[in-house]
Structure 1
């Protein structure tokens, strides 16, 4: 069994990035333990407060955020951190070279019903003289990420990450408390018959997305010529993990409910890191109109629409939006 630390030593040339990923897993192991304990650990239910996004936080949202913050603050490599749950970035170590952005608990609406959730992270290199507490320091296009990944808390706890040299998956072995290599150099199948989208929002989508999904539902008799299956877990980590495992397309498109916002998901905490993983694995990631990782962000909590997964199916979707 090849353990995470040994794999990073052998395959990641940047010792600082290796240290950040390995160190983050200390907090993620703690989150996994509390999730597996469930109500016995007192982590279920609402925290009875809202985050910066205006969303009601779960108790484990707050706990996970605090655990990851404490972990990152202790790392000499980290100049600053930014959480999806907080309005402003936090400075860490002045001598650090890297900025870490994270969604501490993606899909937290699933916690109380014991369905898969996850942690997402993205690592950027800080510019010379950057302030880890200043939003502007983090406003870098996704193409400048030096690492990205997620931890999936399911029947087993999995780490999936990339440092720009392929995508690799590790499973937490509870017998030894270590992540061990499961798959290396993951590739997303180019074709698929599976899509994931929240159909309850259909009436709010743009006409182009309406037409594409309508043709998916027509199956063999439709212009796409095959029968599709739909999946929806309401956790981006789970949706992307399924695509990295067996292919598919995941979509959270623009809709008219909040016309001033370009999408639902957060560019810096969800769109960019997941796009890096998908593209490193041979898939494609788009807003339906442009490459996600080419967007120059203007705000740390900026939102984005998402269409990502198997390359040929993403191309199908993009043709409807051309």
Structure 2
């Protein structure tokens, strides 16, 4: 791009020129972006800022929190609570919703976020990130309750993530494709570096935690085994496996060059439909993937059609290049069919 376009200019054009977003949503997204810059600074300081290591506490999921988990959560709340754009927030790190304090004006949007995805990678200097999703508060609803957040992913009005790696990159959709913005540290602003992102429908890369293979359901084993058989197998091509253990990093790779990411249900905890959270991870990532021409399912149905019933609901996730996700989904549906009677 000969002329660099800032995030602010991009959002103004989405609002004023293309009519995709109202002004309040534009302002909200700018605040989220500023919070991501603050988190990026804390991440980059690492040991110099005393932010590495655990915090001797657990989140609502029973997971040990890292210091940066807590810092990122606080940064997002403090940045967003006073602007007048939000009615409430929900975070993977908090048990219930966070109501905007009465001393601040109340807005019409609901913000959900995973403040720092990929926490296991914090101390080893591997890419991590922040994921966010924006919903519209139901019209005429008095106050805000947890039920107001129970909206299918298809009702999102904005979603994105910021990956903190060699570059800090903000990836965003407002329902008009996917755009990527790189943080220019000299100017202190995000600038547009890619737009109209498209995921190729076919791929030779898959991402999954292979150490769990013995626990997978048969459709997942079938798909991965076919990939491992390479050119001599039914797929007729060699596959590479990639696994960063950070959803942000794995999805960013897929948006950049294609691939398939899978975090399926497994037999270790059969009562849980999956590991990842529907509201904080699967919905925003699923919408980004779809907006880039890919596909996202839970192995059987479109993720964005799932009706949430709990704030911290978990789900199985298969997303990425369309033809590969369709194949995995087909294998699940075939396995669900009753065996023919004798």
TM-score by length of 2: 0.92
Instruction: Report the counterpart of residue 242 of structure 2 in structure 1.
Output: 231
Alignment of 1:1-322 (within 5 A): 1-12=4-15, 13=19, 14-92=22-100, 95-130=106-141, 133-322=144-333
Instruction: Tell me the distance in 1 between the aligned counterparts of 2:34 and 2:326.
Output: 39
Structure 1 residues 153, 242: closer, same or farther in 2, change over 3 A?
same
Note if contact 1:143-1:294 (Cα within 8 Å) is conserved in structure 2.
Answer: yes
Q: Which has the larger radius of gyration?
A: 2
- Matched position secondary structure for 1:63: helix
Distance of 1:81 and 1:169 partners within structure 2:
24
Mind listing any 5+ residue stretches in structure 2 that lack a counterpart? 334-342
Q: Which deviates further from its counterpart, 151-160 or 88-97?
A: 88-97
Structure 1: give runs of 5+ residues left out of the alignment: none
**4+ residue runs over 3 A deviation:** 129-133
**CA 131–197 in structure 1, closer or farther in 2 if over 3 Å, else same:** farther
In 2, Cα distance between the equivalents of 1:110 and 1:116? 7
Asked if the contact 1:90/1:133 (under 8 Å) is kept, the reply is no
Distance, in Å, in 2 between the alignment partners of 1:90 and 1:31 is 20
The C-alpha deviation readout for 1:53-108, integer Å capped at 9, x for no partner, is: 11000000000000001111012010110000000001115631100000000001
Q: Contact between 1:89 and 1:132, CA under 8 Å: does it hold in 2?
A: no
Between Structure 1 and Structure 2, how many residues are aligned? Answer: 322
The offset of 1:219, in angstroms, is: 0.5
- Offset of residue 2 of structure 1: 0.6
Query: For 2:208 and 2:317, how far apart are their aligned partners in 1?
Result: 10
Alpha-carbon RMSD across the aligned residues, in angstroms, is 1.1
State the Cα deviation string for residues 249-306 of structure 1 (Å, max 9, x = none). 0000001111111000000000000000000000000001110000000001000000
Q: CA deviation at 1:34?
A: 1.1
* SS of aligned partner of 1:187: coil
